[in-house]
Chain A
Amino acid sequence: MPAASLPPSFADLEPYLRWALPTETARSQLRRDSRMSDLAQFYQAMLPRLPTILSHLNEFPLDAMPDAEVNLFRIGLSFAEVAPFVEQYDRTVIPLLFDERRFAPLHDPKEPGA
C-alpha cells in the first residue's frame, strides 16, 4: 500500500488524497457518496493542474511508478470519474431509475492494488 503522500510539486493536492483509490468500483462509490460541492471543489482544484500532472506521470513507466506517483495517478483516475458529473450532470449520480451499482466492472482487479 503506497504511503499517503504525493510528489513534492503536487503537495497542494494532499487534501484530495482520499481519492487515491485503486479500483473503479471504489472511485465511483466515493463519487456517489460525496456532496456535489465536494465534487466541484475537487474538480476546480484538479482541472488546471491536469496537464502538468499527466506530463509528470508520463516520465515514469506505467507499471513501475513510485508510491507518491501511484497516489497522484489514482487521483487523476478519480478525476476522470468525477469530471462528467461536474461538466455534464451537475449531480453526484446520473439521473436514472437504474441503480448504477448493478453495473459490475469486469476489468477491476480482483485484489485491489493494481
Chain B
Amino acid sequence: MHPSYDKRWIEEYPDLGTAPVPTEPCLSPDYFRLEQERLFSKVWLKVGRVEDIPGPGDYFLQDLAICRTSVIMVRGTDDKIRGFHNVCMHRGNKLVWDHEACGTTGSFKCRFHGWTFATDGRLVAVPDQQMFYRLDREQLGLRPVAVDVWEGFIFINLDPAPSESLAEYLGEMGEHLAGFPYHDFPACYAYRAELKANWKVCLDAFSEAYHVLFVHGATIGSANFSRENPMSHPIDVRLYPRHRSAVIYGNPAHVPGPTGKVAAQFGFTSMERGVGMESLPSHINPERRRDFNFDLNAIFPNFMIHVRPGEYFTHQFWPLSPDRTVWEGRDYLPRARNAGERFSQEYSHLMRRNAWLEDTSTMEATFAGLTSGVLKNFMLSDPEILIRHSYKVLEDHVGFYRNGTTGEADIARR
C-alpha cells in the first residue's frame, strides 16, 4: 500500500476524534444567532486590501448582514485607514448606499438632512445647527470600528474593545503566511455570487481535495492527481488553535493543453505544475517539493488565502441568513506588462473561474439535501480533517452544545 493511504492526520491530531460531525450547525437558526452574537461580532474579519483604497479619501463599503450593519472603510488625508459604522449620527440613515459602494470623497454627506462627516469621522457640518438643543459635534462623530492591517489585508473587529490584537488573533497562522509578496500581485480578478446555502457548506467545499477528481475531472484534469496520488491527498496538514492549513497536491508530470502551452510561453498560468518553487518564501513548501500545488489556509472564521508560485487567491464567505451566503473569490496576479502576459492571465483566471463554477454548483445542491433533514451527521474521512477541525473551533466559540446555553441542544446527540 502506498504511504499516502495511511490515515495520517488523525494520528497527528488525535484530540479531534473520529466521530461523525452534526449537520445541525448548518441548519439551525439558533446556531446562526449564536454565530452572530459570539463570533462575527467579536473576532477579526478581513474586509479588503490596502490597494483597494490607495489614496486619501478612497473608500469602500463592506456589508455585514449577519451583524445587521455595514462599515465604511476609508483612507484619511493622514493616510490612516479607518472604519466606521455606516450610520448617520442624526437619525440613523445610511451614509453610503450600495450603488456608490466604493469611490473617492472628501467627506460623507447624509442625503437625508445633510449632516456631513470628515473622512476621519468628525462631524463637520450640521445644516440649521442653531435649531438643535445642546448639540455637541465633538460627541457625534461616526461610530468607529477597530481596524488593523496585516500583510496589506485590512481587518475589522466589531467588538468596541477587542479582547486581542489582530497579530494575537492570527497567531502562528499569521507568522506562517507572513513574507509572501502579496504586494507584487495587484491584478485582481474577482467574482461574487449569492448562494442559497449556509456559509459553512460553502467553506467546507473549499476545505478538501477529495472532490477534485469528481467535480473538476474535466477542468483541472490530471493537474491535481496522478497515479501516485489518485485521490489528491494533501501533502501536509497543520491545525492551529483557530486557523488551519493544508498543502494541496499538484501533479508535477502534468502537461498543459494546447492553449495552456501557448499561455505558459507568454506569461504565467495557474495550470503549470512543479515550477517556480524558488519564488516562494522559505517556509512555504520548505522542501521545494515539485508536487506542491498550493498552500491552503483557512483564517477563522470566513476567509481563505491560498498561496502558490506566481499568484495567490482568496475565498470569503459572508453569511446573510442561515440559508444564504455571499461568496467572493479573488485571484491575485502580477501587473501584466504586455498583451501576451495579459492573455496568459485571462486564460489562467478563467480556468480558475470555471473550477469555481463547478465548486459553487455543489453548494446549493448540498444545502438543499441537508434541509431535508435526512442527514443528521457528516461522515468525514481522514483527508477531510480540516472540516472536522473547522466545526470544532466554531463550536468552541459558539457553545451551542454546551450544557444550558440553548435549552434544546444536547451534547449527547453528537
Give the docked Cα–Cα distance between A104 and B262 (Å). 28
> A84 touches which one: B190, B192, B219, B361 (CB < 8 A)?
B219
Give the docked Cα–Cα distance between A107 and B189 (Å). 6
**B350–A103 contact, CB under 8 A?**
no
Q: How far is the CB of B156 from chain A (nearest CB, A)?
A: 20
> A81 touches which one: B219, B350, B357 (CB < 8 A)?
B350
Give the docked Cα–Cα distance between A103 and B361 (Å). 11
Closest to A101 in B: B193
Which of B88-96, B199-207, B333-341 lies on the face that meets chain A?
B333-341
**A76–B218 contact, CB under 8 A?**
no
Give the docked Cα–Cα distance between A83 and B364 (Å). 28
**B364–A58 contact, CB under 8 A?**
no
Does chain B have a CB within 8 A of A88?
Answer: yes
Does chain B have a CB within 8 A of A113?
Answer: no
Given contacts A47-B258, A102-B194, contact A94 B351 (CB under 8 A): no
Q: How far is the CB of B303 from chain A (nearest CB, A)?
A: 17
Give the docked Cα–Cα distance between A87 and B43 (Å). 45
Closest to A51 in B: B262
Does chain B have a CB within 8 A of A57?
Answer: yes
Give the docked Cα–Cα distance between A37 and B339 (Å). 28
**B219–A76 contact, CB under 8 A?**
no
Interface residues of A in 75-108 (CB under 8 A from B): 76-77, 79-81, 83-84, 87-89, 94, 96-98, 100, 102-107
**Chain B contacts for A51, CB-based, 8 A:** 262, 265-266
**B339–A73 contact, CB under 8 A?**
yes
**A103–B191 contact, CB under 8 A?**
yes
Interface residues of B in 302-338 (CB under 8 A from A): 328, 336-338
**Chain B contacts for A84, CB-based, 8 A:** 219, 259, 350-351, 354
**A80–B339 contact, CB under 8 A?**
no
**B193–A102 contact, CB under 8 A?**
yes
**A80–B343 contact, CB under 8 A?**
yes
30 A/B residue pairs, CB under 8 Å, sorted by A = A24-B350, A47-B258, A50-B262, A51-B266, A54-B262, A54-B340, A55-B340, A57-B340, A58-B266, A58-B340, A60-B339, A62-B336, A73-B342, A80-B347, A83-B259, A84-B259, A84-B351, A84-B354, A87-B258, A88-B218, A88-B221, A94-B357, A96-B357, A96-B358, A98-B364, A100-B357, A102-B194, A103-B360, A104-B193, A105-B190
Contact residues of A with B, CB < 8 Å?
24, 47, 50-51, 54-55, 57-58, 60, 62, 65, 73, 76-77, 79-81, 83-84, 87-89, 94, 96-98, 100, 102-107
Other than the given A76-B343, A83-B258, A103-B191, 17 more pairs (CB < 8 A) read: A51-B262, A54-B339, A57-B338, A62-B336, A62-B337, A77-B342, A77-B343, A79-B259, A80-B350, A84-B219, A88-B257, A98-B357, A102-B193, A103-B360, A104-B192, A106-B192, A106-B328
